[in-house]
Amino acid sequence: MTPNDPAAPDATDRESVTASIKASYEAIRYRSRPCPTSAPARIATVARLMGLDTPDPTTARVLEIGCGDGGNLVPMAAAAPQGRYVGVDLSPGAIAEARAMASDLALSNVELDAVDLRDLPPGLGTFDYIIAHGFYSWVPADVREVLLGTLRRRLSPDGIAFVSHNTMPGCALRGIAWSLLRPHVAGIGDPARRISEARSMAALVAEAMADQPGLAGVLAGEFRDVAERHEFHVLHDDLAVVNHPVLLREIVAEADAHGLAWLADADVYRHPAPAYGEKMNAWLAAADRLTREHVIDHLRLRRYRESLFVHRARGLGTPLAGERLANMHVGASNTTAERHGSAPRSQADGDRTPAGVQRMLLGRLAAVHPASVPVQEVVSWITSHGSAGSTLAAPANALRLLLSACLMGAIVPFAWPLRAAQGAGAMPRASAVARWQASRRDFVVNLRHDSVVFDDPVRRRLLPLVDGTRTRDALALELAAISPHAADPRRLVDEHLAHFARIGVLEA
């Protein structure tokens, strides 16, 4: 609950808290983006790396709780026509937007309901994947209880739930900004003014603290973040009616009371890796897994988590294992793609040590990003590129190298291949969702379920036309109409199409 804020509703009055949450989301829309780690195929990949069988994500029944304007759920539904997708949210305005998107895209596999989670209709059945992204920490205690009860009742026996939440101890730092800004805007009813007053104050404090020594200088960054964040994040997170960060241990204990067990972090990159020096690595290796996570959260000052939960009775599988990558696919992470995008490849090409081979591999994967490559292919490439007698000649070691690159966040595993085209064909086609978003949002979702900034005015008009019905010459004519002064529309079309392929919105 927002501390020290007389404008905030009485915490004991559940209905007024929920009414106030609803009013704030109605007043300023929360613009939902795709959350790649919440995609069923990504969740299933983590589970499979832990040795668990998972429901097939391409035909799964998926529920998103607090789906907002559908920015996460609707693109998932579009990408899995044989799945069934249900989204619920308290905000009728957000659900109306989600429905409009689903209807424009003519999706028949998605159902969206404006309903309080506490009043979920009993006939909905069970789901293979349940997503609660941006929900747990932002609803009052009774709704958090209902959330966990819903997961227990609605998750199929081998289903997996994704729950994101604000996390301690990192949020203790954010809390310092909150404890100054919330009382500062107390009593201001108009949401837009709450946001602008909080941002101005945050900018003022950030500037005043910037040159201070020690922790004050660090905190300046917290205030700067608030001053620069999107307005809906300031209102619905920093100044939220409810904002409840928890230690992983606390949410795990609450879930346990509902018969649910914490499976793992939803992001392979966030799984523990030996990255803290010999003594700490040894200490962590000897600790039980929750203690290990708890300590690492303190080492990393973690402030946000994405946790996977399963029915406790199901069992938790085993730690991630390299050999389980064998039948999967891998792709460069976005960070790797950016880093290698401009680096000259030849630099690393002569180095056949394991580190050199890994560098070359990342360069190769970056070159086809955001598409993925079968691990079998990657393993034969690695085994043939190590120096004579290298440990990398053994496929098991090549798989280990790949797993460690996943844990470092350099590559991303996919149990299902990605359909992204690596170049534009004669009649190029962008995904229907990206074409829909191009003129309506400042981002588009790509075939990895990542959001990509998309604010170039010419591209925003061109992408909707890349629908598989036009040749490049036809697109050049359209471009000439969009940009009458363009010198060489045909060449520009090629450049724009190359960009669309690079960001992963063209279908293979």
Ligand X SMILES: C[S@@+](CC[C@H](N)C(=O)[O-])C[C@H]1O[C@@H](n2cnc3c(N)ncnc32)[C@H](O)[C@@H]1O
Given the rule CB under 6 A, which residues bind ligand X?
Answer: 18, 21, 25, 30, 32, 66-68, 88-91, 94, 116-117, 133-135, 138-139, 143, 236
Residue with smaller CB distance to ligand X, 54 or 137: 137
Contact 270, 223 (CB under 8 A): no
Distance CA 22, CA 169 (A): 28
Residue with smaller CB distance to ligand X, 64 or 330: 64
Distance CA 403, CA 470 (A): 42
Residue with smaller CB distance to ligand X, 66 or 354: 66
Instruction: Report, in Å, the least distance between residue 247 CB and ligand X.
Output: 20
User: Is 374 exposed, middle or buried (CB count within 10 Å of its CB: 0-12, 13-18, 19+)?
Assistant: middle
Residue with smaller CB distance to ligand X, 134 or 322: 134
Q: How far is CA 205 from each of CA 200, 217, 327, 427, rounded to the nearest angstrom?
A: 9, 11, 52, 54
Cβ burial 411-422 (10 Å sphere, 16+ → b, else e): bbbbbbebebbe
Instruction: Report, in Å, the least distance between residue 134 CB and ligand X.
Output: 3
Instruction: Report, in Å, the least distance between residue 441 CB and ligand X.
Output: 13
Instruction: Report, in Å, the least distance between residue 119 CB and ligand X.
Output: 8
Residue with smaller CB distance to ligand X, 30 or 500: 30
Instruction: Report, in Å, the least distance between residue 143 CB and ligand X.
Output: 5
Distance CA 420, CA 369 (A): 9
Using left for φ > 0, alpha for ψ between -120 and 50, and beta otherwise, residue 374 falls in beta
One-letter amino acid identity for 209?
Answer: M
Instruction: Report, in Å, the least distance between residue 33 CB and ligand X.
Output: 6
HSE of 463 in the Cβ direction (CA atoms, 13 Å)?
33
HSE of 343 in the Cβ direction (CA atoms, 13 Å)?
18
Instruction: Report, in Å, the least distance between residue 136 CB and ligand X.
Output: 10
Helix (H/G/I), strand (E/B), else coil: 279? helix
Residue with smaller CB distance to ligand X, 136 or 454: 136
Instruction: Report, in Å, the least distance between residue 198 CB and ligand X.
Output: 17
* Residue 21 structure tokens: 């949450």
Residue with smaller CB distance to ligand X, 119 or 349: 119
- DSSP for 134-197, please give it: T-GGGS-HHHHHHHHHHHHHHEEEEEEEEEEEEBTTHHHHHHHHHHHHHHHTTT---HHHHHHH
Helix (H/G/I), strand (E/B), else coil: 385? helix
Distance CA 309, CA 261 (A): 5
Instruction: Report, in Å, the least distance between residue 340 CB and ligand X.
Output: 30
Distance CA 496, CA 142 (A): 50
Residue with smaller CB distance to ligand X, 333 or 451: 451
Residue with smaller CB distance to ligand X, 98 or 462: 98
